[in-house]
Amino acid sequence: MRLSPRHPRYASLRVRAGLAVALREGLVVPEGLIAQGRGEAFDYLLGERTSASARRAERAAAHWLWSAEHPVISVNGNVAALAAAEIARIVRACPRIGVEVNLFHRTPRRVRLVARSLRAAGVERVLGVHPTARIPGLPSDRARVDRNGIYRADVCLVPLEDGDRASALRARGQRVISIDLNPLSRTSRTADLPIVDEVRRALDHIARDLRGLSRRRAPRIGAPFDAGAALADALRTVGRNLERAARAPATRRASPR
Amino acid sequence: MRLSPRHPRYASLRVRAGLAVALREGLVVPEGLIAQGRGEAFDYLLGERTSASARRAERAAAHWLWSAEHPVISVNGNVAALAAAEIARIVRACPRIGVEVNLFHRTPRRVRLVARSLRAAGVERVLGVHPTARIPGLPSDRARVDRNGIYRADVCLVPLEDGDRASALRARGQRVISIDLNPLSRTSRTADLPIVDEVRRALDHIARDLRGLSRRRAPRIGAPFDAGAALADALRTVGRNLERAARAPATRRASPR
C-alpha cells in the first residue's frame, strides 16, 4: 500500500511501515510491534508531543550522561529500527558514551542486525555483540552484558526497557534513565530519571542538548531530578487530554432500526 | 521462551505468543500486532476488566443482533486469531447471524486463513471469501463485501474496526456495533453502539446473552442505546484509574551520582 503524505496520520503510518520491514528482516520481533502499539496509545493520550516536563527530563538526562564517568546507552531491536540515527548523533556529541546491544529475545542473528543498523547510522564502536559479563539476579538474556559497557556503567540510558532490568541495574547502584511513554510502567516507576516521551523525539532532544554542552565545554556536574514529580506531570497531561476529549463527542441516541 | 502460569501477566503473555504464531502463519499482519498493543494500553487503563457500562453495551448489542433482520459479524485477522471460538458460540446461539471475512490488508491467502480458522472453530458458513459487492466511498479493500452479507446487513458487528468503514456503513443507514478498547477512536465515536471492552471478553458476553435470549425465545425488539454516555463512562473509568495510579508512586529524589 502506498502512503500519502497528506494522510492525517502519515508520520505514524510511516513508522509502522518501517517497523513491518524491520520485522521481516528479523531486527524487530513480534513482541516489539505490540510494545510499539502500547507506546502509540500512550503517545496519543499525551498529545503526541514532548511536554514541558518531558523536555526538562531530557535536559537533565543530557546532563547526567555528560557528567557520568561511564555512560552507556542500551539498544534493543525497536530502538535500532526507530532511532539508530539519533543514537549516532548522541555519540558524535559525546564520544565517551558507550552504545551496547542488549536484547530480551536474543539470537546471534538479531545481535548482528542491531549492530549493523547502528554502524550503518554512524556508531563506530558497538558493545555487547560478544557479552563478557552477567548482571546478577536477571533470569532473561538481558543479563548478558559487556564488562566494559553496561556492566560497569555509572549512568545507563535504557530506552524502551523492561522493568526487571531497570530494577536489576538500580540494585547494583547504577543510575537508570528510562525512555518510556507509559508513565505507569514499572520501568518508569523504577528509573532514577524517567523520560515520558516518544523515543525518537527524546533521543533527538538529548543529542541536541549534548551538542550544546559539548560546544560550551560545560562543567561535568549532574543536576538532581525529581522522578515522582515527572511521572505525576505526565499523568496530569493524560488526564487533561482525556477531559478535553470527553467534552468533545456529542451525545447521540441511536436505536437498532 | 516457556511461559509460567504464575507470571503476573501470564494471560496477556499467552495472547501475545498466540498472535506471534498467527503472524508467522500469515493470519495476522504486522499492523495487527501494533493495533493489539494499542488495545493492551487502553485495556490496562480500563483496569483489564469489563466495566458495568461496557456490560450494558454488550447486552444491548446482543438485543440488536437478536432483533435484526440481517445481522452480520465482520471478521479480520486479529479477530480470527483471538476470538474464533467466541464467534462460533455466537452463531450457535443465533444461527441467523452471518459471519463475513473482511480484511484491510487483503490477499487471497489471508482470506483463506481467516475462513479456515473460523471453520475450525465451528462456524459452518463463512461469507466474504469471494466478494460480490462493494461499499461505495471506501477506497480500501474493506469495501469488498458479500452481497448477502455485510452489503445488506441491517446490523453489523465490527470488532477491531477502522473508522473509515464504520462511517461508510453508517452512511448507508446500517447500524454499527463496534468493539474497540479506545473510547476516543473514530470507530468508537462513529458506531451507533460502541462497546469499549477487550474483544474476547465482549464476544463471550454477547454469546452468553444471545444464548439467554434464544432459550427464553425473547421477542425480537431492540433497545435504544446512548452511545455518548457509554463513551463518557469509559473515559471516566480511565480517569479514575489514572488518579489512583498517580497517588500510588512515592515521590523520589535522585541525583546522578
Q: Please tell me if residue A180 touches chain B, with a CB cutoff of 8 Å.
A: no
Q: What is the mean pLDDT of residues B147-156?
A: 96
Q: Please tell me if residue A257 touches chain B, with a CB cutoff of 8 Å.
A: yes
Contact criterion met (CB < 8 Å) for B31 and A16: yes
Q: Do residues A22 and A77 lie in contact, with contact meaning Cβ atoms separated by under 8 Å?
A: yes
pLDDT value for A252: 47
Distance (Å) from the alpha carbon of A24 to chain B's nearest alpha carbon? 9
Contact criterion met (CB < 8 Å) for B34 and A30: no
Q: Give me the phi and psi of A183, to 5 degrees please.
A: -70, -10
Residue with cell 425473547: B218
CB atoms within 10 A of CB B13: 16
Give yes or no for residue A8 having a pLDDT over 80: no
Q: Please tell me if residue A210 touches chain B, with a CB cutoff of 8 Å.
A: no
pLDDT-derived band at B106 (thresholds 50, 70, 90) equals: very high
Instruction: Report the chain B residue with the minimal C-alpha distance to residue A139.
Output: B1
pLDDT-derived band at A250 (thresholds 50, 70, 90) equals: very low
List of E strands, chain A: 71-75, 98-101, 133-134, 144-145, 155-159, 175-179, 193-195, 225-226, 253-254
Give yes or no for residue B72 having a pLDDT over 80: yes
Select the residue from B21, B38, B247 to test the A interface by mutation, using most A Cβ atoms within 10 A: B38
Q: Identify residue B17 by its one-letter amino acid code.
A: A
Q: Please tell me if residue A236 touches chain B, with a CB cutoff of 8 Å.
A: yes
Partners of B175 on chain A (C-beta within 8 Å) are 254, 256-257
pTM value is: 0.89
Partners of A29 on chain B (C-beta within 8 Å) are 20
User: Which cell goes with A106?
Assistant: 536474543
Partners of A242 on chain B (C-beta within 8 Å) are 184, 235, 238-239, 242
Q: Please write the tens of the pLDDT for every residue from B6-43.
A: 666 677 778 888 898 999 999 999 999 999 999 999 99
User: Which cell goes with A114?
Assistant: 542491531
Q: Do residues B3 and B15 lie in contact, with contact meaning Cβ atoms separated by under 8 Å?
A: no
ipTM (interface predicted TM) = 0.88
Q: Of A11-25, A52-66, B235-249, which gets the smallest average pLDDT? A: B235-249
The C-alpha atoms of residue B44 and residue B161 are separated, in whole angstroms, by 20
pLDDT value for B10: 73
The C-alpha atoms of residue A142 and residue B217 are separated, in whole angstroms, by 57
Give DSSP secondary structure letters for A155-194.
Answer: EEEEET--HHHHHHHHHTT-EEEEE-S-TTSHHHHH-SEE
Q: Please tell me if residue B230 touches chain A, with a CB cutoff of 8 Å.
A: no
From A169, A210, A204, select the one nearest A190 (Cα to Cα): A169
Q: Identify residue A95 by its one-letter amino acid code.
A: P
Give yes or no for residue B249 having a pLDDT over 70: no
Residue with cell 497517588: B247
Give yes or no for residue B171 having a pLDDT over 80: yes
Q: Of A87-96, A164-173, B10-19, which gets the smallest average pLDDT? A: B10-19
Q: Identify residue A152 by its one-letter amino acid code.
A: R
Distance (Å) from the alpha carbon of A217 to chain B's nearest alpha carbon? 19
Q: Please write the tens of the pLDDT for every residue from A210-249.
A: 999 999 999 888 789 999 999 999 999 998 888 887 776 5
CB-CB: which of B23, B34, B243 is closest to A37?
A: B34
Q: Which residues in chain B (21-40) have CB-CB distances under 8 A to chain A?
A: 23, 29-31, 33-40
Contact criterion met (CB < 8 Å) for A254 and B227: yes
Partners of B193 on chain A (C-beta within 8 Å) are 254
Q: How far is CA B182 from CA A17, A22, A206, in A?
A: 22, 27, 32
Give yes or no for residue B164 having a pLDDT over 90: no
The C-alpha atoms of residue B231 and residue B42 are separated, in whole angstroms, by 13
Q: Do residues A69 and A97 lie in contact, with contact meaning Cβ atoms separated by under 8 Å?
A: no
Q: Of A70-74, A249-253, B39-43, which gets the smallest average pLDDT? A: A249-253
Give yes or no for residue B178 having a pLDDT over 90: yes
The C-alpha atoms of residue B101 and residue A213 are separated, in whole angstroms, by 57
The per-residue pLDDT of chain B, averaged, comes to 91
pLDDT-derived band at A18 (thresholds 50, 70, 90) equals: confident
Task: Tell me how many residue pairs between chain A and chain B have CB atoms under 8 A apart.
Answer: 177
pLDDT value for A11: 75
CB atoms within 10 A of CB B1: 9
Query: In angstroms, how far is the first alpha carbon of chain A from the final one?
Result: 36
Q: What is the mean pLDDT of residues A154-182?
A: 92
Give yes or no for residue B253 having a pLDDT over 70: no
